[in-house]
Amino acid sequence: MSSATTSATTSAPRLRPAALCGAFAGLLIALSALVEAFTGETSATSCLLAVSPAFALPLLTALHLAQGAATGRYADTAHTLNVIGLGLFGGGAFAANLVLFYFDEEVIEETLTGPTVPVLLGSAAVFAVGCAAFGAAMIRARVFPRVPSWGYAVVLPLFAFLTALPDSPLTIALHIMVGTILVWLSAALSGSRTLVVRG
């Protein structure tokens, strides 16, 4: 039993709300990191970082739709893995920035017991693999600019693990790079005139 694939033309304005969400996510990440470079982590920046992954989800799906005609089953799998990873990683970021942030170190050590740490590490691993795979799909599709596509494939997987380190110039730079990548891809998505979407 064979399945037929049809193509439909979708104008970029239909995907612009997702592009705006992606740009917002990138700005939340990058601007929070810039502020923290001077003030250290604050409750305000932690709150912004906690909610940023939620705004990245629509962008991820819109990017996948926009390059659908230029990719195949690999991209479908990579997108699915990336969505799952972003959901898990976003949940961890939410908990770390809006819950653990307000706990004392002793309480945090008592809280991070049992399966908590292995599950958080596993979530970061799924997110890293998903970003690398979806970034590779964007590179192969050649629908979006090469620099942010490569950045998505390389920088975001590093971000998944290094963001848990104490604040440093490296982690701040990673946050700014991730934010820039998301804003760049959002701008490319919003600026496209016509997108051919697999249906």
DSSP line for 81-115: HHHHHHHHHHHHHHHHHHTGGGS-HHHHHHHS-TT
61 domain-assigned: yes
Question: For 106-110, 126-130, 135-139, 156-160, which range has the lowest pLDDT when averaged over its residues?
Answer: 106-110
The pLDDT score that the predictor gives to residue 92 is: 86
Is pLDDT larger for residue 2 or for residue 129?
Answer: 129
Amino acid identity, position 152 = Y
Rounded to whole angstroms, the Cα distance separating 26 from 194 reads 24
Is pLDDT larger for residue 9 or for residue 97?
Answer: 97
The pLDDT score that the predictor gives to residue 7 is: 39
pLDDT tens digits, one per residue of 46-55: 999 999 999 9
Say yes or no to pLDDT of 20 above 60: yes
Average pLDDT over residues 113-117: 79
82 domain-assigned: yes
187 domain-assigned: yes
65 domain-assigned: yes
Please tell me the pTM assigned to this model.
0.85
39 domain-assigned: yes
Percent of the chain with pLDDT over 70: 88
Q: Which two tokens stand for residue 197?
A: 């979407």
The pLDDT score that the predictor gives to residue 167 is: 78
Distances in Å between the Cα of 67 and the Cα atoms of 52, 117, 160, 192 are 24, 36, 24, 11
Say yes or no to pLDDT of 109 above 80: no
2 domain-assigned: no
Nearest CA-CA partner of 149 in 134, 160, 138, 157: 138
> By three-state DSSP, how is residue 11 classified?
strand
Is pLDDT larger for residue 57 or for residue 9?
Answer: 57
Owning domain of residue 165: 12-191
136 domain-assigned: yes
The pLDDT score that the predictor gives to residue 107 is: 72
pLDDT averaged over the chain?
85
Nearest CA-CA partner of 33 in 184, 161, 171, 186: 171
Backbone angles phi, psi at 68, to 5 degrees: -55, -40
Rounded to whole angstroms, the Cα distance separating 84 from 87 reads 5
Average pLDDT over residues 54-78: 88
**What domain count does the chain have?**
1
The pLDDT score that the predictor gives to residue 95 is: 84
Cβ burial of 2 (10 Å; 0-12, 13-18, 19+) is exposed
Average pLDDT over residues 178-191: 94
110 domain-assigned: yes
Is pLDDT larger for residue 168 or for residue 48?
Answer: 48
Helix residue ranges, H only, the chain: 16-39, 43-66, 73-98, 105-111, 116-141, 146-162, 169-191
The pLDDT score that the predictor gives to residue 192 is: 62
